[in-house]
Amino acid sequence: MERNRSQLRGALLLTLTAFIWGVAFVAQSVGMDYLGPCAFNGVRNFIGGAALLPVIAFASRLRREPSTGEAASPAGGKKQLLLWGVACGVLLGSASLLQQAGLQTASAGKAGFLTALYIVIVPVLGVVLGRRPGLKVWAGVVLALCGAYLLSVKGGEGVALGDLLVMGSAVLYSLHILVIDFVPSQVDGVKLSCVQFFVAGVLSMALALALESFTLSDILSAWIPLLYTGLISSGVGYTLQILGQRTVNPTVASLIMSLESVFAALAGWVLLRQPLSPREIAGCVLVFLAVVLAQLPQKMFGAENRK
C-alpha cells in the first residue's frame, strides 16, 4: 500500500512537471525574440540554480541536529552530489541547447514531436541496460507516439538541420532521464537539481560568449520568459522530475512527461490564441490514454521488471 502511494505521488509530481514544461514552450518561443539559444539557456539555468539556494539553506536548517548544531550528511555525500550533478548538468545543458537551437529553424509542432521521441528512446535504451518493460508500457509507448504525431506534425515537411538538432536533444533528454534513475537515493534531489543547473548554465554561457552577441539590455528585455523558464520550468520543473522519478519506473516516467506536448498545445490555445484542430484533440486523447494505461495495475498485463 505504501509503495502504491509513493508511486502515485511520484506520478502526480511528474504530471505537474509535464504541465510546467508544456507552458514553457510559449516562454521559450517568446524568449528567442531577444536572445540566442546559448545565452537564453545560460541565463535561465543560472536563475534556476540561484532560486534553489534559499530552499536548500532552509531545508538544511530544518534538518540541523539541535544537540550539535550541524546538519547530518553521509560520508562521501558531497562527492556523490558533485559527480551526479555534473553528469546530469552536462546532459541537461546539451539537450536544452540542441532543442533551443533547433527551434530557430524547425517548426514548433515538428519540434514538439521530435522531442517526444524520448517516449520511444527511453525504453529502447532501457532494454540495452537490462530493463524489460512489459506489454502495458510498450502499448503506452505506441499510443503516446501516435498521439504526439497527431498533435504536433502537420504537412509533409522533410528532415532539416533544425529537425536533426531537436532529434539529438531527444536522445540526450532520454539519457538524462535514465541517469537520474541511477542516482543513489541518499543524494538530495533539490541539491542535485541545483548543481545540474549551474553546470548547464556554465556550459551554455561559455558557448554564448564564444558564439553569440548579446547585451544586458537583451537579457532585461526577455525577463518574463527568462523568469518563467528559470524559476518555474528549470527550478521547479526539473526538481519535481528528480523527486518524482525516485518512485516511478523511468519508462513510465517518460510516458507521463510526454503529457508535456498536450499541455504545450493547450497553452498555445489559451495564451497565444491558437485553437486545437480535431486532429490535435485526438492526439491529446491518445497521449492521455497512454499515461493512464501505464498506471494500470501490472497484474492485468503479466510480469514486468520493476525498480
List, for residues 15-58, the tens digit of each pLDDT value. Answer: 999 999 888 888 888 888 899 999 999 999 999 999 999 888 88
Question: Which pLDDT band holds residue 299 (cuts at 50, 70, 90)?
Answer: low
Question: Which pLDDT band holds residue 70 (cuts at 50, 70, 90)?
Answer: very low
> Residue range 149-156: average pLDDT?
70
Q: Residue 97 and residue 105: Cα distance in Å, rounded?
A: 14
Give pLDDT, residue 74. 55
> Among 114-118, 155-159, 280-284, which is the least confidently predicted range?
155-159
Q: Residue 257 and residue 259: Cα distance in Å, rounded?
A: 5
Question: pTM higher than 0.75 for the full model?
Answer: yes
DSSP state of 212: -
Give pLDDT, residue 71. 46
Q: Residue 55 and residue 52: Cα distance in Å, rounded?
A: 5
Question: Which pLDDT band holds residue 304 (cuts at 50, 70, 90)?
Answer: very low
> Residue range 287-301: average pLDDT?
69
* Beta carbons within 10 angstroms of residue 135's beta carbon: 14
Q: Residue 72 and residue 68: Cα distance in Å, rounded?
A: 10
Confidence check: pLDDT of 141 > 60: yes
Give pLDDT, residue 108. 64
More confident site: 278 or 46: 46
> Residue range 264-275: average pLDDT?
78
Confidence check: pLDDT of 4 > 80: no
Question: Which pLDDT band holds residue 68 (cuts at 50, 70, 90)?
Answer: very low
Give pLDDT, residue 66. 47
Q: Residue 41 and residue 208: Cα distance in Å, rounded?
A: 9
Confidence check: pLDDT of 69 > 70: no
| Domain locations in the chain as residue ranges | 2-61+75-298
Average pLDDT, the chain: 82
| Range picked from 35-39, 71-75, 124-128 for highest mean pLDDT | 35-39
Q: Residue 301 and residue 304: Cα distance in Å, rounded?
A: 9
Give pLDDT, residue 307. 45
Question: 71 in helix, strand or coil?
Answer: strand
> Residue range 179-201: average pLDDT?
91
Give pLDDT, residue 214. 92
Give pLDDT, residue 157. 56
Give pLDDT, residue 202. 97
> Residue range 291-303: average pLDDT?
62
Q: Residue 178 and residue 245: Cα distance in Å, rounded?
A: 10
More confident site: 245 or 110: 245
Confidence check: pLDDT of 118 > 50: yes
Q: Which residues contact 216 (CB under 8 A, 6 or more apart)?
A: none
> Residue range 98-118: average pLDDT?
76
Q: Residue 126 and residue 226: Cα distance in Å, rounded?
A: 34
